[in-house]
Amino acid sequence: MNNKEEIVIGYLEQTDDILNIDDELPSYANGLPYFLENEDKFESIKCQQCGNQMKMLLQIYAPLNKKHASFREIYVFLCLNEQCSKNNSSVRVFRMQSQQKPQLLQSKNKEYILSPQNKSFIIDTEIINAKENNNELQVAEELLPTNFDDEDKDVDLKNVKFDNENKIYENYLKSTEEKEDINELDGLEKDQQNNIDGCFLIYQHFLTQYPNHIVRYCFDSQSKPLWFSDKKQPQIESKCPHCKKNKIFEFQINNSILTYFPELYNLEWGALYIYSCPSSCQVGGQILIEETIYAHSDEQEFISPNLKVDPNTKLVSINTNKSNKQKQQIQQQQQQQQQIQQKIDEKDEEDDDW
Amino acid sequence: MADQEQQQAPPAPEQEQAAPAEKKGFGRGGRGQRERREGGAPRQNRGPRRFGGEQEWTPLTKLGRLVKAGKIKSLETIFQFSIPIKEYQIVDHFLKNLKEEPLALGPVQKQTCAGQRTRFKAYVVVGDNHQHIGLGWKSAKEVQGAIKGAVINAKLNLIPVRKGYWGNKIAQPHTVPCKVTGKEGSVRVRLVPAPRGTGIVAAITSKKVLQMAGIQDCYTQSKGSTRTRSNFLKATFHALKETYNFLTPDLWGHTKLESTPFQEHSEYLAGLK
């Protein structure tokens, strides 16, 4: 398992020879899959909705510090059929592992290739410090118009340069127009902004900090995924069939992969989140073990059947340290304020004769 | 004796270092040190990152991809089909001469167990003085940070403004097409068409908003507690939004059903063009 303090980020890099690598097993995208066992031993992977053969998006080598999983590969498959594009079951993820160094067997099924015109890409990685990253994201929360609850956090704004904003502020102070007394600004702190998607702004910020990255890997029981949007955030409660533990977040594939493969342009999801068993169990002698994948899309039409998805998720900031009681109190206060507002509106509407 | 001790000491830390090096995980193999050859800056140059510097925009939504590829010719197509804009770079792409102006900047306070916590709240209006206007707000610890967030918020809340005539239809439209009213909290703002040359007859706060929306002549009436500037600004903004919601007789004719940009450019989206 990864150390909580580090997040690994993956980029795509074009290459001709996939097997010319320093690692023991390959991690790459777009090509024939390299299975660890003979592919005659299992069925070819098909879409559950339409029955077509699925294409392999990428495979990554993610070994763990455990004996039975020291050589572990994860494969992500996609169905490119238009009818399936609005359904969560158009993506599937599988895991293959072994104890000793396995023999790499390339699949002979050419239909697994996602984009025959493009070459294959190797996944290059960069390791970033999770604490620094968290601080950067808190700075982003402070400066972007997100709708998160007010938190008492100490945000370090040293590295941010406000050239443009300083000019605007100086112009505002210099302007000779009449200005009302600044202390008269209403004491109301909270203003609801219903249209703005706060999580999406932070996700976009993270992607501009590390441009063109594809994979964000952080396999830990306490690691949180970087959600694509604040609508339809799921609570993944699927369990491993062998050890009955809850599956935890392993990695996510971001939307930026679409710039490399034009075949994927029509897909509706924003990011894929892969959840897997924390102890990487060998389930009942199966060679290919299926794991949970969630395709996150903010459109209502997108179907996510098997996972608990609450369409009215309330916005939660990155570090919530408040206890449940405090949250309940805040909710009650908000409800009371809304009721008061409604009463004021009703009274005013009676006087309205415009 | 001392030498022997020193000789024994070095092997121990080496063994300790050897154990963590075997820690496994995605990306910890020898390949992590490989330099990137393709596009973009080499990874070693990522020093302390600037917030939102001038970096190239990679679109994350379908609409963003179409805009960046130049398939959508103007903002009005997006407004016509009521497609929500999630990326503010889309607005920057179409409107290069957007002006930002803060209208209200002041401290707001919140009571905490450790005294009071003051932050600054900024209301910013963004407009091109022709026919687009956006209103955004943000509260943050520093004034400049609040302005920055409010500008982005305003760009995401951009709306088109419909203009019309008071009397004869000569030259360009200069006033509101009809009487419209907007409300927020207890404030009601009513915009009334005015003849050419009247100018904007309004209080300072709403005058600025109407100027940046491109309206040249307008009478206004307001009601309620207009001293609460946030509600006053939002009420004016809602009134301007109403201009395109109002069905006037010249819109009575049948309009041809058009396909949305996603359907029209579905071939591009499927990767064939």
Between the CA atoms of A45, A49, A55 and A59, what dihedral angle is there, to the nearest 10 degrees?
-70
Q: How many CB atoms lie within 10 A of CB B198?
A: 15
CB-based contacts of B148: which residues, under 8 Å, 6+ apart? A143, A162, A164, A165, B52, B138, B140
Quick check: A344 pLDDT over 80? no
d(CA A60, CA A97) in angstroms, rounded, equals 12
Asked whether B87 and B60 are in contact (CB, 8 A), the reply is: yes
Window 230-249 of B: residues touching A by CB (8 A cutoff) are 230-231
**Per-residue pLDDT tens over the stretch A217-275:** 888 888 888 888 888 888 888 888 888 888 888 899 988 888 788 777 777 888 999 99
Record: contact A184-B39, CB cut-off 8 A: no
State pTM to two decimals.
0.80
Of B102, B153, B268, the CB nearest to A172: B102
- Sign, Cα dihedral of B44, B45, B49, B53: negative
Top residue of B22, B23, B24, B26 to mutate, by most chain A CBs within 10 Å, is: B26
Backbone angles phi, psi at A328, to 5 degrees: -65, -40
Asked whether B31 and A15 are in contact (CB, 8 A), the reply is: no
Chain A: closest CA distance from residue B201 (Å): 16
Residues β-bridged to residue B105: B122
What is the DSSP secondary-structure string of B98-162?
-EEEEEEEEEEEEEETTEEEEEEEEEEEEE-SSSEEEEEEEEESSHHHHHHHHHHHHHHT-EE--
Residues β-bridged to residue A290: A94
CA distances from A19 to A26, B75, B104, B202 (A): 7, 48, 61, 72
User: Could you tell me which residue, B163 or A143, shows the higher pLDDT?
Assistant: B163
The DSSP bridge pattern shows strands A289-296 and A271-276 to be antiparallel
% of chain A surpassing 90 pLDDT = 1
Record: contact A189-B56, CB cut-off 8 A: no
Measured between CA atoms, the residue of chain B closest to residue A212 is B58
Residues in B touching A22 (Cβ below 8 Å): 29-31, 34
Tokens representing residue A25 in the block? 């097993």
Chain B: closest CA distance from residue A102 (Å): 17
Record: contact A189-B109, CB cut-off 8 A: yes
Top residue of A59, A133, A160 to mutate, by most chain B CBs within 10 Å, is: A160
Number of CB pairs < 8 Å for A and B?
227
Quick check: A345 pLDDT over 50? yes
Give me the mean pLDDT over the A26-54 stretch: 83
Of B25, B140, B227, the CB nearest to A62: B25
Residues in A touching B227 (Cβ below 8 Å): 184
Give me the mean pLDDT over the B111-127 stretch: 85
Measured between CA atoms, the residue of chain B closest to residue A140 is B51
**Per-residue pLDDT tens over the stretch A284-331:** 777 888 888 888 888 877 877 655 544 444 434 343 344 556 667 777
Of B32, B40, B204, the CB nearest to A127: B32
**What pLDDT score does B240 carry?**
95
Of B26, B87, B204, the CB nearest to A204: B87
Quick check: B260 pLDDT over 60? yes
B87 at interface of A, judged by CB pairs closer than 8 A: yes
Of A125, A142, A157, the CB nearest to B32: A125
B107 at interface of A, judged by CB pairs closer than 8 A: yes
ipTM of the complex: 0.79
Which single residue is written with the structure tokens 């993506």?
A: A91
d(CA A153, CA A319) in angstroms, rounded, equals 9
Record: contact A203-B185, CB cut-off 8 A: no
**Per-residue pLDDT tens over the stretch B92-116:** 999 999 999 998 888 887 777 888 7
Of A22, A136, A345, the CB nearest to B29: A22
Quick check: B135 pLDDT over 90? yes
B273 at interface of A, judged by CB pairs closer than 8 A: no
Choose the weakest-confidence range: B10-14, B131-135, B202-206, B244-248.
B10-14
User: Could you tell me which residue, A22 or B172, shows the higher pLDDT?
Assistant: B172
Asked whether B94 and B75 are in contact (CB, 8 A), the reply is: yes
Tokens representing residue A216 in the block? 């964000």
Backbone angles phi, psi at B64, to 5 degrees: -60, -40
3-state SS class at A332: helix
d(CA B158, CA A305) in angstroms, rounded, equals 35
**Per-residue pLDDT tens over the stretch B23-58:** 667 766 544 444 433 333 344 434 445 555 556 788
Asked whether A252 and A273 are in contact (CB, 8 A), the reply is: yes
Quick check: A191 pLDDT over 70? no
Quick check: B219 pLDDT over 90? yes
